[in-house]
Amino acid sequence: MAAGVLARSSPRCFVLMSGMLAVTTSSLRVTAKSAFRASAVRCFALPTAEEMMPGSNEMKARAQGARAKYPDRILSPLEATLFAIEQRAKIVDVRTAAERSTHEINGRKGVAIRGAISLPLNDLVSSKVSVPSGPLLLVCSKGPKSLVALDYFLGEVGCEDEVKVVDGGTTAWDSEGLPTENVVQPDRPVT
């Protein structure tokens, strides 16, 4: 976000304004200490815990919205491989350590894309870790969580770098025979 201000004004809503600060409520009423043009306001919602929970209806709904909003940012595993190579993109796995070690990928647990950086969406949203710069390729187990992350990165964070998602996640990547690795939670072997 080059010339903007991001202000948190309610548990789920932010307003970005060029050079000014605004406050919103969940009903999207806007007030400000200085005048502004309504066209300069963009409102984003942080992902809720339910929207970050694999398999939840809330996650599916937000992922479907992101899919409709950003169709040009969703790549097949082969397109994603080319993007990662050509753009020198960082592959970011947005699953938690527990999800990475326990989710089944084509009948196997503990599978991740080889070389992927583990940056759980939950930690990104709570600011425990920061969003890396440069081109990013987001991935999760089957796709929905990475679509929620895409929506968060492009809307909430205002990421100006190129961000794409692997359609079908690690499962689709692995199905194409692309490189994966086994991951194990530090203190617990995968069974």
What global pTM score does this model have? 0.73
Concatenating the DSSP letter of every residue in 119-179 gives --HHHHHTTSSPPPPS-EEEE-SSSHHHHHHHHIIIIII---S-EEEETTHHHHHHHTT--
- Angle, helices 144-151/57-69, rounded to nearest 10 degrees: 60
Closest CA to 134 of 78, 180, 92, 77: 92
Per-residue pLDDT tens over the stretch 5-20 = 333 333 333 333 333 3
pLDDT at 183: 86
Per-residue pLDDT tens over the stretch 42-55 = 445 788 888 888 88
